[in-house]
Amino acid sequence: MHSKSIKILGLIILSLLVLSGCGTNNESKATISQTTASNQVTNKTEKPITIAASFYPMYIFALNVAKDMPNVNVIDMTKPITGCLHDYTVTPDDMKNLEGAQFFIINGAGMESFMNKVVNQMPNLKIIDSSKGIQLIKGQGDEGDNPHLWVSISNAILQVGNIGEQLSLLDPTNAAKYKANTSAYIKKLEAERDKMHQALDGVKNRDIITFHEAFPYFAKEFNLNIVGVIEREPGSEPSAKELAETIDKVNSLKVKALFAEPQYSTKAADTIAKETGAKVYTLDPVVTGPMDADAYINIMDSNLKTLQEALK
C-alpha cells in the first residue's frame, strides 16, 4: 500500500506540473500576441505632417491635395488678408508658423522674394515650387517675370499637379492619397475651366483695363486684351499724368469695363469711370478669401459672372 500511495502521489504531482506548464505557456503566448498587435498598431500610426503654404492661393491648393488626411495639417504662413506678396517682408510670426512644418509650398516665379531668409534659417524645410515647368510672362520694364500664375485656371491646374507630385515624392507614406486628391481636384478645376471657356470664347468685346498686373495670365487664357493698367503696384496711386493717359486711352478705345480688385481701394478706377463713362466691375485675383477648399473655384465662378456682365 505504501509503495502504491507513493506512485499515485507522484502521478498527481507530475500532472500538476504539466497543467501548470501549459497555463504559463498560454499566458506567455497571449502576452506576446498582445505585444505584437500593439506594435503593429504603432507601426501603422502615421507620423504627423505639417504643410505650410506661402499665401492664400497656395493654401487653398494644399487643402485640396491633402484633403481628408488626418495625419496631415495644412497651415497658411501669412495671414489670409495679406494678399499678393509684392515686396513682402517675413514677420517673426510667419517664421514661427514655419517652425513645425516639414514642407513649404510656394508659388515661385519670384513671388516670394523672402525665400533666402527662410532657406537660411530653416535649411531642413523642404520647398515645393508650384511654378515648375510653367511658361512665364515677362513683367513690365525691369520687373522680371510676372508671378501671378494661379490667376489663370490652366496654370492653377499645373500648379496643383506640381504640388501633388512633389508631396508624393517627399512623403511617400501618403503618396497614394496625395495623388488621388490631386486627380480629383484637377477634375473640378478642369470642369470650371471648360465652363468659363464656353461662356467667354465667343465674346466680341475683349478690351479691358485692370487694376494691377495680376491678370496677364488670366487674359492670355481667355484671349482678353489688357489695354491699360490703373496701378502697376497695388497701393501706389497713379500720378496725375498716368491717370490722364489712362482716361485718354479709355475714351479713344471706347473701353466699357474697368476692373478693380476687392482687396484694394477703387478710388482711381472711380475717377476714370467718372471721366469716361466706363463702368467699374470687380475682378478677384484670388489672393484673399474664405479658408475653404472650394474657395478658388467659387471665386473663379464669380469672376465668370462678372465678365459675362461686363463684356456683353
The rounded Cα 126 to chain-centroid distance in angstroms is 16
Kindly write down the DSSP assignment for every residue of 173-226, as one continuous string.
GGHHHHHHHHHHHHHHHHHHHHHHHHHHTT-S--EEEESSTT-HHHHHHTT-EE
Name the pairing type of β-strands 207-210 and 126-129.
unpaired
User: Is the Cβ–Cβ distance between 170 and 72 less than 8 Å?
Assistant: no
In this structure, is the dihedral angle defined by the CA atoms of residues 89, 134, 259 and 142, taken in order, positive or negative?
positive
Q: Among candidates 246, 299, 232, 204, which has minimal Cα distance to 86?
A: 232
Residue 231's nearest CA partner among 110, 54, 112, 84 is 84
Residues 305 and 284: beta-carbon distance below 8 Å:
no
Grouping H, G, I as helix, E, B as strand and the rest as coil, residue 111 is coil
Question: pLDDT (tens digit, 0 to 9) for every residue of the chain, 312 residues total?
Answer: 444 444 444 444 344 333 333 333 433 333 333 333 334 433 345 789 999 999 999 999 999 999 999 999 999 999 877 888 878 999 999 999 999 999 999 999 999 999 999 999 999 999 999 999 999 999 876 678 999 999 999 999 999 999 999 999 999 999 999 999 999 999 999 999 999 999 999 998 899 999 888 999 999 999 999 998 887 666 677 888 888 988 998 898 888 889 999 988 888 889 999 999 999 999 999 999 999 999 999 999 999 999 999 998
Find all residues with CB under 8 Å of 34, minimum gap 6, and list them: none
62: how many CB neighbours lie within 10 A of its CB? Answer: 27
d(CA 182, CA 167): 10
Taking the model in full, what pTM does it have?
0.83
* Cα-Cα-Cα-Cα dihedral sign, residues 28, 34, 38, 40: positive
* Residue range 192-228, pLDDT digits in tens: 999 999 999 999 889 999 988 899 999 999 999 999 8
Q: pLDDT (tens digit, 9 = 90+) per residue, 117-131?
A: 999 999 999 999 999
Residue 290, C-alpha cell as written in the block? 474664405
Q: Kindly list the structural domains of the chain, giving each domain's residue range(s) and its CATH number in brackets, ordered by start.
A: 49-192 (3.40.50.1980), 197-310 (3.40.50.1980)
